[in-house]
Amino acid sequence: MQEVFVVSDIHGHHQELVEALEKASFDENDKDHHLLCLGDLFDRGKENKEVYLFFRRLEKKDKATVLLGNHETFLIEFFEGKDERVLFNIAHNGFQATLESFSGLLFRGRRSLEVMRERIRDRFPELEDWLKNLPLFIEKDDYVFLHGGVDGSDPDWRDTPAGEIVWNYQSRLPGIDNKTIICGHERIPHIHMTKKFSGVSFEDERTFAPIEEEGVVHIDAAVEISKRINVYRVELKDPL
């Protein structure tokens, strides 16, 4: 059996990631351990480069897998020169921290974007292709791992467009028969407030703990608020 340590929505918080994995007893030298991230490595936090290098190092040892999240698409848009989208994500989604972390430069307005693109391509030549080849979901045993959500009532859910999988909220969609979806993207406190669960308090650690419901597990601990990352452990007969 392979023991999979599932995380999501790291958002540039490398130190919190390392601490969470140590607490969960993840051992990269254990042949049966594997780390799976459901996307959103970047933005908001300051350690975006460090998060990327951490996962790339483990990937090259076949000890980690990363799925595409909506925040990875922000970097893809940046590389594609979609500067209006880039400026929007800088203003609203913490993307400036990612650009500055990878480039080592300060963002000084739109005119600095091309210089930052050239610098990031020079410093991290594998990054663009790596982003464009991240899988959207993984289906193993009785589990489906993904970032956002799919409509499980659709027999063709596997053909869901990438833009929907990374942006959907699984809490608002039907699950998949005989499968458990493990997802990130939607912050757990938001799910509590939407469903009016009792005891919603940012001072209570239970507010950020994984929500396990029939057919779905939500693990996004809103790290920028909670300063914690959930590690959800799953055993697989069919290894990643």
Segments making up each domain of the chain, as ranges: 2-69+134-236, 73-131
Residues linked to residue 213 through DSSP beta bridges, in sequence order? 216
Residues 6 or more apart whose CB falls under 8 angstroms from that of 85 comprise 74, 77
- Measured CA to CA, the distance from residue 143 to residue 146 in angstroms comes to 10
Does residue 197 register a pLDDT over 60?
Answer: no
Of residues 193 and 140, more confidently modeled: 140
**Per-residue 3-state assignment (H helix, E strand, C coil) for the chain:** CEEEEEECCCCCCHHHHHHHHHHCCCCCCCCCEEEEECCCCCCCCCCHHHHHHHHHHHHHCCCEEECCCHHHHHHHHHHCCCHHHHHHHHHHCCHHHHHHHHHCCCCCCHHHHHHHHHHHHHHCCCHHHHHHCCCCEEEECCEEEECCCCCCCCCCHHHCCHHHHHHCCHHHCCCCCCCEEEECCCCHHHHHHHHCCCCCCCCCHHHHCCEEECCEEECCCCHHHHCCCCCEEEEECCCC
Total-model pTM: 0.96
- Measured CA to CA, the distance from residue 122 to residue 132 in angstroms comes to 17
Predicted local confidence at residue 147, as pLDDT: 98
List, for residues 131-144, the tens digit of each pLDDT value: 999 999 999 999 99
Does residue 196 register a pLDDT over 80?
Answer: no
CA distances from 110 to 86, 106, 206 (A): 9, 12, 41
List, for residues 32-50, the tens digit of each pLDDT value: 999 999 999 999 999 999 9
Does residue 59 register a pLDDT over 90?
Answer: yes
The mean pLDDT of the chain is 96
The CATH fold assigned to 2-69+134-236 is: Purple Acid Phosphatase; chain A, domain 2 (3.60.21)
Of residues 193 and 10, more confidently modeled: 10
The C-alpha angle with vertex 90 and arms to 86 and 92, in degrees rounded to 5, equals 115
Both tokens of 66, joined, read 């990363």
Predicted local confidence at residue 200, as pLDDT: 63
Does residue 201 register a pLDDT over 80?
Answer: no
